[in-house]
Amino acid sequence: MKYKKWKRILLATGASLALLAMAGCTGTSGGDKASSGNETTESEPGAMESSSVQEGGDKTDQEVESMDYAEIFKGMKLVKSYKGLQNNNPIIEQHYGADPFALVYDDTVYFYMTADAYEYDAAGEIKENTYGKIRSLYVVSTKDMINFTDHGEITIAGEGGATKWAHNSWAPAAAWKEIDGKPKFFLYFADNGGGIGVVTSDSPVGPFVDELGHGLIRRDMENCGNVEWLFDPAVFVDDDGKAYIYFGGGVPKGLAAHPMTARCAQLGDDMMSLVDVPKVIDAPYLFEDSGIHKYGDTYYYTYCSNFSVDKAGTDEYGMENGEICVMESKNPLGPFTFKERILRNPGYYWGVGGNNHHAIFQFKDQWYITYHTRMLETEQQIQKGYRSTSIDEFTMGEDGTIGDVRMTKNGRKQVGRLNPYETINGATFAVMGGVDTAPADEVSKKYGCGNLLLTAINSGDFVKLQGADFGDKGATVVKATVKTNGKDGVIRVTAKSDAKELTAYLPVKADGAESTVCEAKFDEAVTGICDIFITFSGEGYEVKDWIFE
């Protein structure tokens, strides 16, 4: 896990897991009328008691069992969600992720990020992020811009990575292209500030391999040796199939206004070679962070301004330090002319700044900008330079103007709905508290990326799935594929809409099998659009997937 479970709040109830001794792998449900339980640091999702947990009257075995499950969760304090139950930024909380780049493929957006990870001093205390130990990239995906599936770490650099020659892996960019009738995926990365490499895969989530065997862009190449920071790639595949790469950064002494350290070049058909010598982009007050997108017949080069913007620069370009700026051209290789400043530095919004890194993309007819902030580490009371990815939406004007895009905690609207009748990977959620993710099979264990499951579960942990569409007929059963690891527990699943809440309890019973399918019934069908809150009691077991029937 990329951060400690700070301020974990465990059970505030005397209910014992010994109550599970009677449990098999068939659960029972709670009603839709309930008290709210004890207050927590968050509004407790799905906090309710079964309607059978009322005093008086004889109870059937089923009612007693339901009562016991409800008692386990009664008064339970949930682990804190650092972004809050109603916010969509940052996009994940279980790991950090910086320098985001978005790839749209097959009705899904994949986000590739620098895998910021804690560095520790000799005393074991977290120290300032130097980026020097980062050798992997992180990848998550979404179909609706709210619920994200964690695909894990792509090991890139060093002896354990795909590229043995590389020292680091920063600031990824990704593209795909049909080659020999099959889609092929290309993941570009910065080897510190000394060059750019590329790895390939038949899948957007890997495993990735090093076909080239060396850097794609190196200091010994023409017009590259004079680039201060040979890093931060952005890649764009045009409508005609031609692809282009943009990179570079740094501020030579005395050249803050016109550093001349950005480059662009056409990629070869193989996506792993250059057609020509990289060209200079004269981006005013350039710092780093190349970006590229197209709207109509115009190409937009975007970048982060440096931290030496003077009054003359502000007066002429309307920019200040560390902000995302836009240039435009009718040619993908320029020349580009300055257009506008679109995104202020994170410090303007959150009080904690740093470098500003972004990517612009379109998905389902909506335009988005993804960027990183230090919101997550601030909530964790760390503030050592560990970054997390956020996304906000914007509108492209008819003339290509973007205007001022605001960084927000609420983020963007959901695009489409989560389908609860399809298998939902355990590592998929919109919000979480306390849990982590881990490789689920031999491929992901070997390469770090691919199929993950939900792990590090303890009492009071939870996940939220947002905006599931159960339709008019609805679902009466929820199932979970669980790796028990010899541990018992109970999972509370609450479907909450504006009209009602329905809860089912899934007992997890260690029965010696490597994995088991646990299921439970709701008292009535879950219909319409619901948020799904899943709360855990017990520890040590892991969830592979969910499905509703």
List 288, 323, 523, 542, catalytic entry = 288
List 99, 153, 340, 392, catalytic entry = 99
In order of 23, 443, 485, 543, the CA distances from 509 in angstroms are: 7, 27, 10, 13
User: Can you tell me the distance from the alpha carbon of 89 to that of 76, in angstroms, rounded to the nearest whole number?
Assistant: 26
Q: At 302, is the secondary structure helix, strand, or coil?
A: strand
**Pair 516, 77: CB distance under 8 Å:** no
Residue with tokens 């501020």: 251
Other beta carbons within 10 Å of 476: 17
Which spans in 57-212 are helix H?
61-73
Does 99 qualify as catalytic in the annotation? yes
Specify the DSSP element, H or E, that contains 377. Answer: helix 375-379
User: Can you tell me the distance from the alpha carbon of 50 to that of 38, in angstroms, rounded to the nearest whole number?
Assistant: 15
In order of 26, 478, 517, the CA distances from 20 in angstroms are: 12, 19, 17
Per-residue tokens: 184 = 């092929």
Task: Concatenate the DSSP letters of all residues of 108-142 into one string.
Answer: EEEEEEE----EE-TTS-EE---STT--EEEEEEE
Q: What are phi and psi of 343, to 5 degrees?
A: -140, 120
User: Can you tell me the distance from the alpha carbon of 441 to that of 462, in angstroms, rounded to the nearest whole number?
Assistant: 23
Per-residue tokens: 350 = 């959150």
CA R_g for the chain: 25
Cα angle: 431, vertex 372, 388; to 5 degrees:
40
For residue 185, what are the β-bridge partners?
176, 201
User: Can you tell me the distance from the alpha carbon of 266 to that of 294, in angstroms, rounded to the nearest whole number?
Assistant: 15
User: Can you tell me the distance from the alpha carbon of 6 to that of 434, in angstroms, rounded to the nearest whole number?
Assistant: 9
Amino acid type, 11: L
User: Can you tell me the distance from the alpha carbon of 19 to that of 72, in angstroms, rounded to the nearest whole number?
Assistant: 8
Per 3-state DSSP, the chain is made up of helix, strand and coil in percentages (nearest 5) of 10, 40, 50
Does 392 qualify as catalytic in the annotation? no
Q: At 291, is the secondary structure helix, strand, or coil?
A: strand
User: Can you tell me the distance from the alpha carbon of 43 to that of 388, in angstroms, rounded to the nearest whole number?
Assistant: 24
**Strand 452-455 to 436-439 pairing:** antiparallel
- List the one residue out of 386, 530, 527 whose CA is nearest residue 467: 530
Other beta carbons within 10 Å of 180: 5
For residue 234, what are the β-bridge partners?
246
Annotated active-site positions, please? 99, 288
